Amino acid sequence: MFDMMLVRTLADGAFHSGEALGERYALSRAAVWNRVRALQQAGIPVHAVRGKGYRIPGGLDLLDAAVIQALLPPGHGLPGELQILAVTDSTNERAMEALRRGSGIGNVVFAEQQTAGRGRRGRAWVSPFAANIYMSLSREFSGGLAALDGLSLAVGVAVCDAIADLRLPGAGLKWPNDIVAGAQKLGGVLIEVSGEVSGTCGAVIGIGLNVDMSREQTAGIDQPWTDLRALGLPGGQRNRVAALLLGRVLSALDVFAQHGLGAFLERWRSLDAIRGMSVEVLLGADRITGISEGVDEGGRLVVMTDSGRQVFHGGEVSLRRSA
């Protein structure tokens, strides 16, 4: 059984004896041990030292809904509920489930850990406990699916703006919405839609942002990655990161709903990490190479190839080593 109360106690990084924990939670020492094992199985490094008890070396920087709300920049009233889950399959799935039930618009879901975190293009999103930000918001848009074109680019800008608020240099965007630092991935955006092709549709906007991951936690990641810690973020800042990110995304969604992608293009272009570089676009079975010329007014990627200029609406872009 995953015991979040026990996690909160151990989050201070100090030793807690099995006896003291047992008394505190009215459990036998064997039951305490079983719960510690469940935490270890979830990847939380709880150490047991004979004669001293249990501890999580270095402690944990847990999310706290009240702290996030207090740190939200002024003018960003939450449109719905803010929920922090300890462990869930995917915050996008939780938000989507609420949409399917006909509720949840305006809600925000964070999780400390995702067991089936989803990335773009069917990839898994590695989501270790209390290490990063995993956040999903639900929002309604009128104008059908077409009105959502470009939304993921706008959200990518909002994520970079939040990183700039933290005074961390070096974050940029790789089309369409990878948040990168150099050639390493720092975060990503996954938007899933439910509803009408025309008319009102509900969108779940999911954001993963790497904050502070240890090497052991990253075994499943199949691409170069980095985190905010490596960019210079001090420890103990996850709630601040969460609040700044949420504030930036909420206001970007309002601006997008009113003005569309046009309001974000200049900023997107200033953050473009691959413009002028030699790229390969993977589109189904096709690989197209050329020089990236950035995005057009519709947010599509423009690439100068040997056979002329091509515009991509979808596809996976990677950098080629030689220009």
* Residues recognised as catalytic: 120, 185, 320
- The dihedral region occupied by 204, where left means phi > 0, alpha psi between -120 and 50, and beta the remainder, is beta
Whichever of 34 and 223 has its CB closer to ligand BTN, that residue is 223
Please report how close the Cβ of residue 12 comes to ligand BTN at its closest, in angstroms. Answer: 27
Helix (H/G/I), strand (E/B), else coil: 12: coil
Whichever of 25 and 225 has its CB closer to ligand BTN, that residue is 225
Strands 82-88 and 108-114: parallel
Judge whether 248 and 165 are in contact, CB under 8 Å. Answer: yes
Rounded Cα distance, 249 and 76, in Å: 10
Count the neighbouring beta carbons within 10 Å of the beta carbon of residue 119.
18
Residue 315 binds ligand BTN, judged by CB under 6 A: no
Contacts with ligand BTN: how many residues (CB under 6 A)? 20
Residue 239 binds ligand BTN, judged by CB under 6 A: no
Site string for ligand BTN, 174-193 (x = CB under 6 A): ----x---------xxx---
Residue 138 binds ligand BTN, judged by CB under 6 A: no
Please report how close the Cβ of residue 284 comes to ligand BTN at its closest, in angstroms. Answer: 18
Site string for ligand BTN, 21-60 (x = CB under 6 A): ----------------------------------------
Judge whether 319 and 274 are in contact, CB under 8 Å. Answer: yes
Residue 206 binds ligand BTN, judged by CB under 6 A: yes
**Residue among 64, 107, 79 at smallest CA distance from 237:** 64
Site string for ligand BTN, 270-309 (x = CB under 6 A): ----------------------------------------
Which residue has tokens 């990236």? 292
**In whole angstroms, how far apart are CA 285 and each of 30, 117, 124, 311?**
55, 26, 21, 17
Binding part of the chain for ligand BTN, among 129-137, 143-151, 251-259, 314-322 by CB under 6 A, reads 129-137
DSSP for 177-228 reads TEEEETTEEEEEEEEEEEE-SSS-EEEEEEEEE-----GGGGTT--S-B--H
Please report how close the Cβ of residue 31 comes to ligand BTN at its closest, in angstroms. Answer: 32
Judge whether 158 and 251 are in contact, CB under 8 Å. Answer: yes
Binding part of the chain for ligand BTN, among 33-41, 119-127, 144-152, 235-243 by CB under 6 A, reads 119-127
Please report how close the Cβ of residue 313 comes to ligand BTN at its closest, in angstroms. Answer: 17
- Residue 248, judged by CB atoms within 10 A of its CB (0-12, 13-18, 19+), counts as buried
Q: Which 86-115 residues touch ligand BTN, going by CB under 6 A? A: 90-92, 114
Whichever of 83 and 136 has its CB closer to ligand BTN, that residue is 136
Rounded Cα distance, 134 and 63, in Å: 11
- Tell me which residues touch ligand BTN (CB under 6 A): 90-92, 114, 117-120, 123, 125, 134-136, 178, 188-190, 206-208
